[in-house]
Amino acid sequence: MPNPLLDGLRIESTPEPTAFVIFGASGDLTRRKLLPAIYQLSRAQRLPARFSVIGIARSEMTDEQFRQQWHDSLKEFAGLEKPDDVSSALAGCMTYLQGELDDAGLYGRLAAKLKEAGSPAGVLFYFAVPPGVYGTIVERLAAAGLTKPPNADGWRRIIVEKPFGIDLASARQLNRLMHEHLDESQIFRIDHYLGKETVQNLLVFRFANGMFEPVWNRRYIDHVQITAAEVVGVEQRASYYEGAGALRDMVQNHLMQVLALVAMEPPIAFSAENVRDRKLDVIMSIQPLLEDARTSVVRSQYAAGWVNGEEVPGYREEKGVSPESTTETYVALRMQLDSWRWAGVPFYLRTGKRLPKRTTEIAIQFRRPPLHIFKRISPTAIASNLLVVNVQPDEGISVRFEAKLPGSRMQLAPVMMNFRYGSAFGRAVPEAYETLLLDAMLGDPTLYARHDFVEASWALITPVHERWAALAAKALPTYEAGEWGPEEADAMMAAEGRRWRTL
């Protein structure tokens, strides 16, 4: 029955009574992201009246210790110096289960806990664990009858973290296994980039304005550059990163999602399936990397250098990294979308660690005017119009255009027109995990990856990995930490008379 009091309420809709079950409750992701997101959602009155958290992990911990971890996490990552009424009330709704994830008994105890929590209509399982155990958890949940709601009003959903597989075969196998026990509508493959405000704004920018979409095509756009640069090195993630590399860690998921939002056709409505169908079209239109002569891939690895005011070791000298490692920490790609809209427009993607600054942006470079009529009086070549979407850290949109310099002479100069989220709206941008967790509880998968998108993305990436495996270390260039990638990436652009943007 619809709730008459929610109608017209400015605080948006809240989920049905929900239990949030975290596998990997003692881990870093839980402490850094999930628990602070739960707290912020509660402060914003976005959680249901009946809400509970059940943490599950291998570590020995009492309920009391788990609650203490909650408070510690909020202190460290949500800036809450001491518990307040909201965090204390939520602490009372938190319990912990210790156990091995392959132990069927654990799931029996979980079922009992859910009953104790009043058998809530909704149960959201979050897999904050390595992907190798996803299958085990799903099988055990299904065997314990926890993947099916007891009645038609209820729901059971799971959120899985990246990486979803390590190649096309493993992604397909994982999808098959999940689909044996779960409907696709129950599976939420999280990509935190999609929870970022500027990434969501891409849809609004393109499809809620009439002036941009008419020029958003091959007729007016010269090329697109998407950059995701990190200053940090491999940090404490060497064991994961050695098996992943930049192509799996960033391109297969985050950058492909961003590319899809930039290049997609207008959906007929803003609904999950319409949006995800159009995004899939984009991925399907990308020509096979390395097989198509119009595509290029450059990989590289950082050598010792100087970043953020200090000397840093090369990747192979990092703790936990093999001295012979061939894992790429940088990758640059030239992609070609064969579609009516984008034929002939190259999409350049680059991402890397130990680059000079942390920034993620999408740059749309427009074609120059067909004739430079000011050439005689202002001989300098005019700069192309540029539209830049800053995803992080300085969220916003900038447009570069030519203007006349004040004075009696006709002199041209490029100027920027800026929109910044921080100054324009003056309100805090929610953390991506807040948006995404709430969407999962509300059953909205628009900002989550669908199985066919994930597989199509792996289908593009996997042949590149196979080619690299055959080449081994001999074809792996390096770049000095603190520089913008290897010369080979610059050469890839120069071969077409273009260059990477200086960020």
Partner 1 sequence: MEDAVTAKDGLLPGGRDVPFAQIEATLARLVRDGRRRRGAPARALLATVIAVGVQERLTAAAEALEQLGDVGVRAILISEGTHTNPVARVTEHSIAIAGLAPRYLNNAVAALRLSSLPAAVWWRGGSVEALDDLADLADRLILDTPDPDDVWAKADGLFEHTVVTDMRWPALTRWRAALAHLFDLPQVQRDAASLQRIEIDAKDVYAARLYAGWLKSRLRWTDAVAISIKEAAGDAPTPLVRVRLSGKALKVTLQVKPQGSCLEAAVEGGEASTRIVPLGDGSLAALIGEELGVRTRDLAFEQALTAAREIHV
Nearer to partner 1, 39 or 330 (CB): 39
Q: What 8-state DSSP symbol labels residue 24?
A: T
Which of 181, 192, 223, 254 is catalytic? The answer is 254
Q: How many CB atoms lie within 10 A of CB 319?
A: 9
Task: Map residue 156 onto helix, strand or coil.
Answer: strand
Nearer to partner 1, 11 or 373 (CB): 11
Task: Map residue 277 onto helix, strand or coil.
Answer: helix
Residue 427 CB, shortest distance to partner 1, in Å, is 7
Nearest to residue 84, comparing CAs of 33, 47, 39? 39
Binding-site ranges for partner 1 (CB under 8 A): 1, 3-11, 14, 16-17, 42-43, 45, 48-50, 84-86, 89, 118, 418-420, 422-427
The whole-angstrom separation of Cα 362 and Cα 259 is 9
Nearer to partner 1, 86 or 476 (CB): 86
Task: Map residue 55 onto helix, strand or coil.
Answer: strand
The whole-angstrom separation of Cα 459 and Cα 188 is 20
Nearer to partner 1, 45 or 59 (CB): 45
Nearer to partner 1, 18 or 378 (CB): 18
Q: How many CB atoms lie within 10 A of CB 282?
A: 23
Task: Map residue 483 onto helix, strand or coil.
Answer: coil
The whole-angstrom separation of Cα 245 and Cα 328 is 5
Nearest to residue 52, comparing CAs of 40, 64, 65, 38? 38
| Residues linked to residue 54 through DSSP beta bridges, in sequence order | 21, 95
> 373: phi > 0 → left, psi -120 to 50 → alpha, else beta; which?
alpha
* Residue 254 falls in the annotated catalytic set: yes
Residue 295 CB, shortest distance to partner 1, in Å, is 40
> Any idea what the Cα angle at residue 475 is, between residues 249 and 253, rounded to 5°?
15
Residue 51 CB, shortest distance to partner 1, in Å, is 9
**At 282, phi and psi to the nearest 5?**
-60, -50
The whole-angstrom separation of Cα 163 and Cα 336 is 25
Residue 249 CB, shortest distance to partner 1, in Å, is 35
Nearer to partner 1, 42 or 359 (CB): 42
- Residue positions annotated with a catalytic role: 254
